[in-house]
Structure 1
Amino acid sequence: MECKFLLDDFHVFAVDTIGHPGKSAEVCLSPNNYDYGIWVSDIITALGYDKMLCFGGSFGGGILSKTMCVSPEKIEKAVLLVPAGIKNAPAYKLLNMLFPMIMYWITKKETWLLKCILPMAISEKNIASDTYETAKCSIDHVKIKAGMPSDVNPEDMKNYKASTLVMAAEKDCLFPADLVLPQAKKIIADCTVYLITERGHMHYLTEAEKRMIVDFLHDN
C-alpha cells in the first residue's frame, strides 16, 4: 500500500499486523469478529496515546473499521483507502484469481503468478516491484489464509463520530467503489468519500490525491 508520502508530514507508526508475514507474533486473529479492533485499541494505549490519526488500506482498512466499532474514542481522524470491512465484494467475484494461484503453486511459473495479481492491478504498470516480490514471497513461503475482515455491523458503528475520508477504486475487484462508498456514507456519521477512477485495488495515487489525504488529516 502506497503511503510513504505520509512520512513528510507525520510521525508514522507502521504496525506489523499480528499473524501476518513480518516480525509480529504468529497468532492469527479472526477477521470475522472485532478482535483486530481490540488489538489496535491496545496498541494505541501501549504507545501512550489517548487517540490518534489513523490510516488503513485494504486489509488494514478493515482492521481500522473494526477499531471504529470497538474503540471509537481512540480515533481522532481516519483515512480508509480501498478498505475491507465496509462492503466487501461477494466471494464468487474472486474465483478468477483462484485458478491462476493454484496453477502457480503447481508449476511455479511466474506467468501464473502475474495472472493471479492482474485482477487486482488491472494493468502490469500498477504492480510495483516490491509489491510483486512481497506477493511472491508470501505465496511461496507462507500458509495463505483466506478471508478479509468482514463487513462491520452498521449498528456497531453508531458511536463513531470522527471525521473520516473513504477512498475506493472504481475497478477494485475486492472492495468495489460502487459498494463501498454508498455504504460508508450510510454508516459513518462524518464521512467524506472519494472515487479513485479507472483504477483497481492495486494502483498509484496521483500527487493531488496524496495531497488531499495529507490536507484532510491536517485540517482541524
Structure 2
Amino acid sequence: MIYKTEAGEREILRRYEQSLANWPIPAEHRRVPTREGDTFVLVCGPVDAPPLVLFHGSGSNATIWMGDVPAWAEHFRVHAIDMIGEPGFSAPARPPLHSPAYARWLDDVLEQLGLDRVAITGASLGGWLALDYATRRPDRIEKLALLCPGGVGRQKIGFLFKALLYKPFGTWGTRRSIQAVAGVDPREEPEIAEYLTLMFTHFLPRRDRLPVFSDEALGKLAMPVMVIVGGRDAMFDSHDTARRINRAVPHASVTVLPEVAHSIIGQTQPILNFLRT
C-alpha cells in the first residue's frame, strides 16, 4: 500500500490525469509489462532522435519534467518513466533497494521500449535509480545527468524531524514541511507547492535509507556524467556528494548551487547543452 486511503489515491491519480492532459507537446501514453507489474511511460520527440530516459524523484511522477520536455524533445526521443512504487500510473511495487531488482525492472522497461543504449536524467530518488543502473549496466548508458542524486552524499535525518514537527498542523503544516524539506516556497511556486501538498497528504513515501554507492561502484561510470546539487539541500549532504563524485568520477562535471535547496529547477538549458555535446 503506497497511499493512505483509496480516496486519496483516486484524488492523486485524478489530478495526474489532468496534468497529463496539459502535457506541453504531443506524447504517447504507453504501459509496458515488467516483472514488477505494468510501467507507465510518456514518450515524445522525434522517432529517429537519440533516446533520453527521465526518472523523477520520490513522491512525484513524470509531471516534474513538463517545463523541460519542450526543449529536450526537440533533440531527443524522450521517455519519461513513472517509477514503480511512486504516485503515478506504474505498479505500486517496492522491491528491496539493496537488491538488483530495480535494475532488472529497468531491463524489462527498456526491452519493451526497444531501447539499447540511452542517456538518463534523474532527480533525487530518480538520480539514485540512474546511478544504480549505470553502475550495474555501464555499457547501456550514453550519458548521465543527475539532479541532487541520492546514494552519494550523506543522507540527512534532520528533515524527518522538521516534517514531524509540522505534521499536527494540517494543510498549513504540510506546506511548511514541504518548504523546509524541499525548499519550495508556496509564495513563489504556488502550483508546485499545492501539488506537493496533495501528494504528501495522501501518499506514503519510502522511509528506508537509500543504499550508498561505494567509490568502486562510482568508478565504473566511464560515460560522461553531470551532477547538479543544491548547497541548502535538507535531505542530502550536497557538498559530500560533490566531493565524492569529484574523487571517484574525476571526469564528471559537478555544479553546486549555493542558495538552492533539494528542489532544483531552471536547469533545462545546462542539461540540454551537456546531453548534446
TM (norm. structure 2) is 0.68
1:46 pairs, out of 112, 118, 122, with 112
1:33–1:150: 8 Å Cα contact kept in structure 2? no
2:147–2:227: 8 Å Cα contact kept in structure 1? yes
Deviation per CA, 1:43-77: give whole Å up to 9, x if none.
22321121101100011011111111111111100
Runs of at least 5 residues in structure 1 that lack an aligned partner in the other structure: none
Shift in Å, 1:32: 3.5
Shift in Å, 1:142: 2.7
Shift in Å, 1:123: 5.8
2:89 pairs, out of 5, 16, 23, with 23
State the alpha-carbon separation in 1 of the partners of residues 257 and 95 from structure 2. 30
State the alpha-carbon separation in 2 of the partners of residues 174 and 129 from structure 1. 22
1:84 corresponds in structure 2 to 150
**Identical amino acids, percent of aligned pairs:** 21
Q: From the superposition, tell whether residues 14 and 201 of structure 1 become closer, same or farther in structure 2 (CA, over 3 Å).
A: same
1:194 corresponds in structure 2 to 255
Is residue 135 of structure 2 the alignment partner of residue 74 of structure 1?
no
Q: From the superposition, tell whether residues 29 and 128 of structure 1 become closer, same or farther in structure 2 (CA, over 3 Å).
A: farther
1:14 corresponds in structure 2 to 80
State the alpha-carbon separation in 2 of the partners of residues 15 and 41 from structure 1. 13
Is residue 180 of structure 2 the alignment partner of residue 114 of structure 1?
no
2:165 corresponds in structure 1 to 99
Runs of at least 5 residues in structure 2 that lack an aligned partner in the other structure: 1-55, 57-63
Q: From the superposition, tell whether residues 188 and 35 of structure 1 become closer, same or farther in structure 2 (CA, over 3 Å).
A: farther
Aligned alpha-carbon RMSD (Å): 2.3
- Structure with bigger strand share is 2
Amino acid at match of 2:203: V
Q: From the superposition, tell whether residues 131 and 146 of structure 1 become closer, same or farther in structure 2 (CA, over 3 Å).
A: farther
Shift in Å, 1:127: 6.4
| Greater RCO structure (CA 8 Å; 6+ sep) | 1
Q: From the superposition, tell whether residues 153 and 17 of structure 1 become closer, same or farther in structure 2 (CA, over 3 Å).
A: same
Amino acid at match of 1:158: G
1:169 corresponds in structure 2 to 230
TM (norm. structure 1) is 0.84
The number of residue pairs the alignment matches comes to 211
Question: What secondary structure does 1:145 align onto?
Answer: coil
Amino acid at match of 1:214: L
Shift in Å, 1:7: 3.0
- Structure with bigger helix share is 1
Matches within 5 A, 1:115-130: 115-122=176-183, 124=185, 128-130=189-191
